Structure formats: C-alpha cells, structure tokens
Amino acid sequence: MVPIALTIAGSDSGGGAGIQADLKTFSALGVYGASVITALTAQNTRMVSLIEPASTAMIAAQMAAIFDDLDVRAVKLGMLGGADAIETVAKGLAGCTLPMVLDPVMVAKSGDRLLPPDALDALRSLLLPMATVLTPNLPEAADLLGGAPATTEVEMAQQGRALRAMGPGAVLMKGGHGSGELCVDLLVSADGITRLTAPRQATCNTHGTGCTLSAAIAAGLAQGMDLTQAVQRAHIYLQGAIAAADCLGVGSGQGAAHGPLHHFHAVWHNG
C-alpha cells in the first residue's frame, strides 16, 4: 500500500508553494498526498494580492475527514495563518503519535507577512512541542527566539539548540538566507549536529523552497525513513528542483522575481 502524508497549509494559486508544492513533492517522491487547506491566497510569481483564512470549523472538518478514513503516516505543517487556526490544528492533532514536520511559515518571499506576530506565542506553546522536526530559515528562527538572525554556523547551531529546548525533537536550521558560495543547513538533534552543504545556486527561482524541503522530509518519514535519512534525501531532492527551476519558464516573475521550483525535474524536462 502506498504511504500517505498529510499537509496542513495554505493554498498558493500560482502553484509554486504551499499545498500545491507539498502535493507535487509527495507525488515526485512516491507518496500519496492528502491536504487540509488553512487559507486561500491569491498570488502569482510576482506578488500576493489577497489572503483569506479558512474558518476553524472547515479546518477541523477537513482534519476529521482525513483521519477518519486515510492511514496517514506523517504530517507536514506549513502556513497556518493565525492563532485560531494554530489552536484548531493543535486540538485536531492532540494525542497523535505520527511524525510531524513543522515549517514555521511566517513571511512570503515577496515580503508579505503570512503569520501575525500575535500568533507566535500559540505556535511556540502548542505546535513546537508536537514537532518531530522544526524547519526554520534564519529569519524565522530569529523571530521564534526574539533575536537577530544567525550569521555564522556557530550561531546557527546555538539557535538550533535553543529552539530544540522549546520542545521539538530536532531542528533543521536552513541556511538559504545566508551568504557565501556554500549553502549550509544544520540538523540539530539529540544525536548531535548533521551538516548538509550544497553550492549556492545563482537563480531567482526559489519560490516554495521551504515548503518543498519540509514536504520532502515528511514524505521520507511516511516511507519509514529515520529523520536523518529523510532530511538527507530531501536536501538532495530540493537541490535538484532548484537546479532545474530556470528551465520551467512559468510566469513573468520567472528569472526576475520568485519563480517556482521544478518539482518533477527527475520525471520530465523543459529546455
């Protein structure tokens, strides 16, 4: 039977991030994807023009319907939008022993705020302790800790440990917002620190990288991988999706703003 992963996140009408990126990633990695939509966004490769949250009743009903019927093996949490949605999701997951990947989506690459500052406390107290792994980028880690973004690997490791002390089983500190020719991610867990590196790729087409990486980790966990294996495969998959992104030619933001990744780079090719 095919493994099933559930994504609980917002919809991206442009198809590059959110629910759409998660489902593409699940499919590319051989996992059946189910979804709970927490918000609708009107966006494209250039901008986000409108965000409309789903009602808490609808979020709860979607979760109940999925867990009542599908044998979910892993959960990925993405854009939740506000404290009410976070509380609803936490209630729906109460007592759940499935592996959970928490991507603390706060700000879109366009700069639009996707999580109000007043929802941070709910995220910290309700969802961080549930997470198998938390996957913040450097600005998100800083927001969660109430400090400045890390600028060195030593600071990344320190912040990863501080976040892990807030409840998640592990923290993947993502270095995509850093500088230098090498992009470094640090997986901070009870076993120590695993360093993942890749050459920093010269492309503007990185919309949905965080969603894609966290969904790829969830796919691996749904397939029975341990966390380190799931993170390592997800890292390789993401680098391939970034490397092939420039050949897609999707939207007028492609190559100038924030075009999408090529989630199916191993399946079909353009250019």
Active-site residues: which are they? 174, 206, 208-211
**Residue corresponding to tokens 């050949």:** 247
Residue type for position 227: L
**Residue corresponding to tokens 């009602």:** 55
**Residue corresponding to tokens 């938390």:** 134
Please give the full DSSP string across 120-189, using - where no structure is assigned: HHHIIIIIGGG-SEE--BHHHHHHHHTSPPP-SHHHHHHHHHHHHTTS-S-EEEB-TTS-SSEEEEEEEE
Q: Tell which residue, 234, 222, 167, 148, has the closest CA to residue 194.
A: 234
Q: Is 199:5 a contact under the CB 8 Å cutoff?
A: no
